[in-house]
Structure 1
Amino acid sequence: MRTIINNSNKPQYNLALEEYVFKYLDIDDDFAFLWVNEPSVIIGRNQNTIQEVNNTYIQKHNINVVRRITGGGAVYHDFGNLNFSFITRNVEDNVNNFRKFTQPVIDMLRSIGVPAEFSGRNDITVEGKKISGNAQSYYRNRVLHHGTILFNSDLDMVNNVLNVKIDKIESKGIKSVRSRVTNILPYINKPMTLKEFQDELLKFILNTDDITPYIYELTEEDQKIIRQLMEEKYLKWEWNYGESPDFNLQKSNRYPGGKIDVRLNVSEGYIKSCKIYGDFFGQEDISNLENLMINQLFEENTIRKLLEYEIDKYFFNITLDDFINCLFY
């Protein structure tokens, strides 16, 4: 396994670097690297940005809003939050296996006194409170798994910058966003800065006391492509917000695999446009499913037959019956 030392705090660059290593770096090695963003909201691949963020607060405080390529929900990053990325070969037991990728992080946290455990579909918790959320993406023969670690983050900012849905809070049996998250710093059994924690975690993941032999140095050509990806994608309004077409039918529901929010424009009984939002995870790009729905008769048996062998590509732990129930009941 290799690593990249990335000292950038710009989320647009950091996500471009991550995508470059994931999709375009022509090296067969697995990678693990750590990074810290300046204050930012990182939006899930399938989310409606306008609905997820408090735009007035974000603009007033000059907080970045950037969409990532993985599913899941919106998260707040700042200088007290550490991000980790694993990029590996797409072997069968890596797909949707959040527990496997989070285990090294959990083991390291336990080694410094933090009683961390895997929880739900994609979280690491401490005493029932979330300290890490995780997400995945798949491209050809590669898996990207990344996650957050709340080290000493400003937890009150989560309420300020995000419009967290009541159904998500209630589904977890809690009263507020602030009450369901915590930082790991109070649990650590020795004095430690975020940088010291970052260094220890990377050594633990690589199973070494000297990371030098494992470092991949980005070339000028690497950097050129990363900057181009940043400028053409992660700095663009079209990617981070995107246009929301007009719809005359909206259906949404929450399932064990996450929330799905379907917007349809139905005319004379046929689907003319389709947009699917949510914090779900899936292996294929949801835009393929949206395109599949266009020009189909908006009728249960038609949609059920259309998606009978397709639904598992787009949703993990959301069934065809769940999707049909969301649309028609």
Structure 2
Amino acid sequence: MISSKHYSRRERYRALETWRLVDHEYRDNPSMNLAVEEAIPRMVGEGKAPSTVRFWHNSNTIVIGCFQSAKLEVNMQACKETGTEIVRRFTGGGAVYHDSGNLNYAISLPKGHRLVPDHNLQSVFQRLSEGAVEGLRRLGLNAEFQPVNDIQVDRKKVSGAAGSIRWNSVFHHGCILVNSDLSILGKVLNVPRAKLEDRHVASVQTRVTTVRDELGRDISTREVRDAIVGGIESCYEVRVESGVLMKEEVGLAEELYQTKYSRLEWNLEP
């Protein structure tokens, strides 16, 4: 027999706002992954898709911000030697390195959502990073948000984020270094010396860390993903339920891939 206490807890959970959970990815096609990143908030903004959390992975890839120069941010020769692709996202911010040990997450909400009512991008970064911070804390890490858009563990960067308020939607995405190869990261990214000196570190590898290294044990991206889902539900008082992309979303992603994300002029110019 179910107790009234247990029943009321279950009913309260069912009454929460529901977010869709999507694990839709193209591990060996980073350009298509980024096309999906744009398609979802567009559909959410049109009211055709619900508030959505997406988790995904890339193979070895440098993802540069919308306004960055690939030639300045990326060591092209190192990318060739390591088989690292270069793609551009639609959000701003800095270049990041992805590999199979990196977990990417994205949150798409309708504009005016109760969590980010003031339409300020800095507020979006902080508020929508809280679920990931809580998830990492549940794993035993001393994680905290560090403005402008980082998550740190004991003063080392473990995650960076970017976002956008457009298409009548609020979009936030981040990448978490779970068990990434930091030696490749240090080779393929051109990090300005001034930026390193400002943080009193000698190299990009001493500035960043991984979840695995901080925990001192092996951990899968799936375990981190599950912890973040729990953090999102707790921080935002929502119910996250598994779902899939609609045909219209997939169709839009395919169109964006063909017309934008697969093109060299988008990814490498200027």
TM-score, length of structure 1 as denominator length: 0.68
Q: Residue deviations 1:296-321, cap 9 Å, x none?
A: xxxxxxxxxxxxxxxxxxxxxxxxxx
Q: Residues 226-241 of structure 1: matches in 2 within 5 Å?
A: 226-241=253-268
Say whether the 8 Å CA contact 1:113–1:189 is kept in structure 2: no
The answer to whether structure 1 residue 5 and structure 2 residue 5 are counterparts is no
Match of residue 57 from structure 2? 36
The answer to whether 1:24 aligns with 2:49 is no
Bigger Rg over Cα: 1
Q: Distance in 1 between matches of 2:130 and 2:100?
A: 24
How many pairs are equivalent? 240
* Distance of aligned partners of 1:213 and 1:124 in 2 relative to their CA distance in 1, 3 Å threshold: closer
Distance 1:186 1:55 in 2: 28
Structure with the higher fraction of residues in helix conformation: 2
How far apart are residue 189 of structure 1 and its match? 8.2
Q: Answer whether contact 2:178 2:219 (CA < 8 A) is retained.
A: no
Identity %, equivalent residues: 34
3-state SS of paired residue (2:86): strand
In 2, Cα distance between equivalents of 1:12 and 1:177:
25
Which of 118, 135, 141 does residue 93 from structure 1 map onto?
A: 118
What is the aligned partner in structure 1 of residue 12 from structure 2? Answer: none
Greater relative contact order (Cα < 8 A, sep 6+): 2
After TM superposition, list the pairs within 5 Å mapping 1:119-198 onto structure 2.
119-188=146-215, 192-198=219-225
Instruction: Give the TM-score, by structure 2 length.
Output: 0.82
**Cα distance, 1:94 vs structure 2:** 4.9
Does residue 1:61 correspond to 2:82, yes or no? yes
Aligned-residue offset at 1:160 = 0.8
Relative to structure 1, the CA distance from residue 182 to residue 232 in structure 2 (aligned partners, 3 Å threshold; closer, same or farther) is: same
Q: CA deviation at 1:235?
A: 1.1
Query: Is the contact between residue 3 and residue 214 of structure 1 (CA under 8 Å) also seen in structure 2?
Result: yes
Residue 96 of structure 2 corresponds to: 75
Whether the aligned pair in 2 keeps the contact of 1:22 and 1:142 (CA below 8 Å) is: yes
Gap runs ≥5 in structure 2: 1-18
Q: 1:71 to 1:21 in 2, by over 3 A?
A: same
Q: Pick the aligned partner of 1:102 from 129, 133, 141.
A: 129
SS in 1 for 2:209: coil
1:53-73: per-residue Cα shift (whole Å, max 9, x none)?
A: 111121233211000111111
Q: What CA distance in whole angstroms lies between the structure 2 residues aligned with 1:149 and 1:183?
A: 8
Amino acid at match of 1:224: G
Query: What SS does the aligned partner of 1:93 have?
Result: coil
Structure 1 residue 199: Cα displacement: 2.9
